[in-house]
Amino acid sequence: MERSKCMNVPEIRFKEFCDYYNDVLLEKCLSVSNKKNNKLEYKKEDALSVSDEFGVVNQIEHLGRSYTGNNISTYKILNKGQIVYTKSPLKLKPFGIIKVNNNKPGIVSVLYAIYDVKEGFDPNYISVYFEPSFRLNKYLLPLINKGAKNTINISDETALSGEVHIPLSHAEQQKIVSYFQSLDSLIQIISKKLASLKRIKAASLQSMFPQEGETVPKVRFNGFEEEWSLKCVSELLCERNELSPQSPEFPLMAFIANNGITEKGERYDRSALVNDVINKQYKRTYYGDFIYSSNNLETGSIGLNTYGKATISPVYSIFYCTLNSDSNFVGYCMTRKSFIKEMIKWRQGVMYGQWRIHEKDFLRIKVLVPSLPEQQKIGAYFRSLDRQISLQTQRLEKLKQIKAACLDKMFV
């Protein structure tokens, strides 16, 4: 690909193409299709829906049930290769979704608009072109009846009366489509890997810790057979209450729900409210510390410091591991819903913002734990899982960023 500075061509383009993009009325690319299911060629099992993420999907296979009405003879037939447009209320943005049906034929509600694609135009190019909501909104806004309040008062035919910027070369259209299909395929593969890892972690958290009323988990590493022991948290953790100003060695950080120690963004930066930023006292924390906020336990403000040396707000409670515990094990054991439920029993205060679980009370809570070697095995297993989840999450985010940039720069 190469970059261009010309107003009539996209910023990024495949190098073998050099013609200007053309302003083309969409009606030159598409034509309205109103074929009804009046001969009952299709049944309720053939009902289709349009998803922004998954495209055209079968309702039963994807959603678990059919949402058709009783009279499916009025439904429109959607064939493979046709474009389908589902309109959204005017008060919602984007104003709808445009997708090509790349799957088997079926039927859709009359609320959908269906279009045939004329010769010389790739249906998947039209779908990719309108995938960014800003481009669809920009195209449709001038066509919308300004008097409409809650619905888009626009006919299927009128929706074709605007202009699109398109390469007339069918080969270029196909190359662009192929590129985005490859990106989507990679995104789908990484998404499936990520979902699988998250399912494995959720199942492991259930099976590798004893259930209520039990003293051994259902799944264990080889070589461990003894029952888990009921211990007070004080045998596993000690309170850390070191106060100091922020410094280069101990930078001021945020502790964000489900993310742990993280650099302060604008949302979490309250330094403008502090009169003496340099000398204000914060709590010190080190790698492997266990941290919680009494107010936000249910939303995930609890977990390990996997960052390293930092200072954080004094509202947090911080603990370090004793010689009898493994920090990774403690982190996963004490962030399970069952343990947080036990913690909440010790919470004092009558309203949010004043709730408090005193450190001395937290240390009294009892929890089942195995021997230190088994703790280390379990902790290392879940830490490895989280590293894989983090890696796949980063890959997925990077691919989505690449796709978003290309959707912006590969079109006029």
pLDDT score of 188 = 93
| 117, 137, 166 - which closes a domain | 166
Residue 3 lies in a domain: no
Residue 206 has pLDDT above 50, yes or no: yes
Q: Are residues 292 and 180 part of one domain?
A: no
Residue 270 has pLDDT above 60, yes or no: no
320 inside domain? yes
Band of the pLDDT at 86, cuts 50, 70, 90? confident
What beta strand segments (E) does 234-369 contain?
237-239, 243-244, 254-256, 260-262, 282-285, 290-292, 302-304, 310-312, 317-321, 366-369
pLDDT, tens only, 272-327: 444 455 678 999 999 999 999 988 888 889 999 999 999 999 999 999 999 999 99
**What is the structure's pLDDT at 264?**
76
Segment 84-90 shows an average pLDDT of 76
One domain, residues 32 and 141: yes
Q: Which of 166, 185, 208 is the last residue of a domain?
A: 166
Per-position b or e across 251-264, b if 16+ CB within 10 A of its CB: ebbbbbeeebbeee
Q: What is the mean pLDDT of residues 329-356?
A: 87
CATH (domain of 294): 3.90.220.20
Is pLDDT at 360 greater than 90 in this prediction? yes
Structure tokens at 342: 């036990």
Task: With cut-offs at 50, 70 and 90, classify the pLDDT of residue 4.
Answer: low
Round the average pLDDT of the chain to a whole number and report it.
89
**Higher-scoring residue by pLDDT: 10, 203:** 203
| Shared domain check, 274 and 187 | no
Last residue of a domain, one of 150, 166, 182: 166
Residue 13 in domain:
no
- Residue 89 inside a domain? The answer is yes
Look at the chain and report how many structural domains it folds into. 3
pLDDT (0 to 100) of residue 359: 94
How would you class 238 by CB atoms within 10 Å of its CB: exposed for 0-12, middle for 13-18, buried for 19 or more? middle
Domain assignment of residue 94, given as a range: 22-166
Q: Is 120 left (phi over 0), alpha (psi -120 to 50) or beta?
A: left
Same domain, 204 and 187: yes
Q: Let me know whether 315 and 379 are in one domain.
A: no
Q: How many beta carbons lie within 10 A of that of residue 14, not counting itself? A: 16
> Confidence class of residue 269 from pLDDT cuts 50, 70 and 90?
low
Contacts of 401 (CB under 8 A, 6+ apart): none
Residues 117 and 203 in one domain: no
CATH number where 181 lies:
1.10.287.1120
The residue ranking higher by pLDDT, 88 or 82, is 82
| 1 within a domain of the structure (yes/no) | no
- The answer to the question of residue 9 being in a domain is no
The tokens describing 356, both together, are 């408090």
Q: What percent of the chain has pLDDT over 90?
A: 66
Least confident of 27-41, 108-122, 251-265: 251-265
Residues 159 and 79 in one domain: yes
* Same domain? 385 vs 257: no
Residue that the structure tokens 């034509």 belong to = 31
- Can you tell me the mean pLDDT for 382-392? 97
Does position 380 have pLDDT exceeding 60, yes or no?
yes
State the pLDDT at residue 242. Answer: 95
pLDDT at 274: 44
Residue 5 has pLDDT above 60, yes or no: no
Neighbours of 168 (CB within 10 A): 13
**In-domain check, residue 76:** yes
Give the DSSP letter string of 358-381.
-HHHHTT-EEEE--HHHHHHHHHH
